[in-house]
């Protein structure tokens, strides 16, 4: 299952149909990569050592865009479930219920990604901490920032971005973004993306749609959040050559994980390829997001 801070519904059945009972409602959710619909059920759900005996979850009868996974473990804000399940307004997430039943003392999710550098893209190289953080997975301070109150980013794990820098060039000022473990790339708004292309000497590859260079770039891109800078070096924002095959990328160029997010709406997404370099914390109890350098 995809662990997704960008959505809040938990469901199964993209590849294996659920044949249990306790399904008295229906659900339907649309994602950027596909959609799903089916019956909404209630039953015991366990993640690691935590069990919620009466968790609402979807059992898909139709799903598109989810090849290779069986569903989503939604850990975004509960408001993202609004209007997705018949007969109710919103549906509590697994973490909501674990907290309300006293299984965890604070509603916090810690997420650790280890970068995948080889050609194998299916390694189990991450860790979730439910109800706290794992201090062995990061170094230096863990810095928290308030959850955004700017719509539509406020419905997600949204955060305010002071600026984006490429080298010494400011390519964006005063923007809002969402932090989304369910998105692979780093999407920045179109004006920032165009400024990134110009500052870095890159162009959008017509075949893949990715920003690309004919010679390896040397500049660092930095995201300023509050008073803290979170830089990505070329080694961190470039796609490793060993992954060109799995991603179907032609050789002869250097490609970036940074892409065009569009001109409006939720057009700034801090996805997995940023989060592989920074430990991230999603604190519902205190309405804040934390970052630290990954160990």
Q: Are residues 240 and 258 in the same domain?
A: yes
Rounded mean pLDDT, 128-137? 97
98 has a pLDDT exceeding 80: yes
Distance from C-alpha of 99 to C-alpha of 152, rounded to nearest angstrom: 26
| Span 189-203, average pLDDT | 98
Across 63-84, average pLDDT: 96
Query: Could you give the C-alpha distances from 142 to 10, 272, 290, 295, in angstroms and in order?
Result: 28, 18, 6, 12
Indicate whether 96 and 118 sit together in one domain: no
**Judgement on whether residues 74 and 123 belong to the same structural domain of the protein:** no
142, 221: one domain? yes
- Residues 164, 274: one domain? yes
Catalytic residues: 4, 180
Q: Write down the pLDDT at residue 121.
A: 67
Buried b / exposed e over 228-266, threshold 16 CB at 10 Å, is eebebebeebbbeeebbeeeebeeebbbbbbbbbeeeeb
Is residue 130 located within the same domain as residue 268?
yes
pTM: 0.96
Of all residues in the chain, the percent with pLDDT exceeding 70 is: 99
Is the domain of 95 the same as that of 166?
A: no
- Provide the pLDDT for residue 264: 94
> DSSP of 119-140, one letter per residue?
S------EEEEETS--GGGEEE
- Segment 276-282 mean pLDDT: 98
Q: What mean pLDDT do residues 175-189 have? A: 97
Torsion over CA: 204, 209, 214, 218 (sign):
positive
| Contacts with 157 (C-beta within 8 Å, 6 or more apart), sequence order | 5, 6, 76, 77, 147, 178, 179, 180, 282, 289
- On whether both 132 and 277 belong to a single domain, the answer is yes
Q: Which residue pairs, CB below 8 angstroms and at least 24 apart, start in 200-209? A: 200/166, 202/256, 204/260, 205/253, 205/255, 207/250, 208/248, 208/249, 208/250, 208/255, 209/259
Same domain, yes or no: 137 and 165: yes
Structural domain total, the chain: 2
Q: Are 195 and 123 in the same domain?
A: yes
Q: Quick check: 216 pLDDT over 90?
A: yes
pLDDT, average across residues 119-144: 91
- What are the residue ranges of helices labelled H in the chain? 94-100, 190-200, 234-237, 244-247, 272-275
Q: Please write the tens of the pLDDT for every residue from 105-122.
A: 999 999 999 888 788 766
pLDDT digits (tens, 9 = 90+) for 56-71: 999 999 999 998 899 9
DSSP 217: -
Residues 148-154, mean pLDDT to the nearest whole number: 96
pLDDT at position 230: 98
**Who wins on pLDDT, 119 or 288?**
288
Q: Are residues 75 and 163 in the same domain?
A: no
Is residue 105 assigned to a domain?
Answer: no
Which pLDDT score, from 0 to 100, does residue 21 have? 81
The tens digit of pLDDT for each residue in 224-233 reads: 999 999 999 9
CATH number for 115: 2.40.70.10
User: Range of 197's domain?
Assistant: 110-294
For the segment 188-195, the average pLDDT, to the nearest whole number, is: 98
């Amino acid at each position: 299952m995809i662990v997704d801070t960008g959505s809040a519904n938990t469901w199964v059945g993209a590849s294996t149909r659920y044949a249990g009972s306790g399904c008295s409602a229906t659900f339907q959710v649309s994602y950027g990569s596909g959609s799903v619909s089916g019956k909404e059920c209630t039953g015991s759900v366990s993640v690691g050592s935590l069990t919620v005996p009466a968790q609402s979850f979807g059992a898909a009868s139709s799903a598109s865009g989810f090849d290779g996974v069986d569903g989503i473990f939604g850990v975004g804000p509960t408001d993202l479930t609004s209007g997705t399940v018949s007969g109710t307004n919103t549906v509590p997430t697994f973490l909501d219920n674990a907290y309300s039943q006293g299984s965890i003392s604070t509603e916090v999710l810690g997420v650790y990604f280890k970068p995948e550098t080889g050609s194998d893209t299916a390694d189990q190289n991450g860790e979730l901490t439910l109800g706290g953080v794992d201090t062995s997975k990061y170094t230096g301070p863990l810095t928290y920032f308030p959850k955004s109150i700017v719509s539509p980013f406020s419905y997600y794990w949204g955060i305010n971005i002071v600026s984006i820098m490429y080298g010494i060039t400011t390519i964006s000022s005063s923007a809002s973004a969402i932090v989304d473990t369910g998105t692979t790339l780093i999407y920045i708004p179109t004006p920032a993306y165009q400024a990134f292309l110009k500052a870095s000497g890159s162009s959008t590859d017509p075949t893949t749609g990715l920003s690309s260079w004919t010679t390896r770039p040397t500049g660092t891109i930095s995201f300023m959040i509050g008073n803290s800078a979170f830089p990505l070096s070329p080694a961190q924002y470039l796609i490793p050559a060993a992954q060109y095959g799995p991603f179907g990328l032609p050789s002869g160029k250097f490609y970036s994980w940074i892409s065009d997010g569009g001109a409006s709406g939720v057009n700034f997404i801090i996805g997995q390829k940023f989060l592989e370099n920074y430990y991230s914390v999603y604190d519902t109890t205190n309405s804040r997001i934390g970052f630290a350098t990954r160990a």
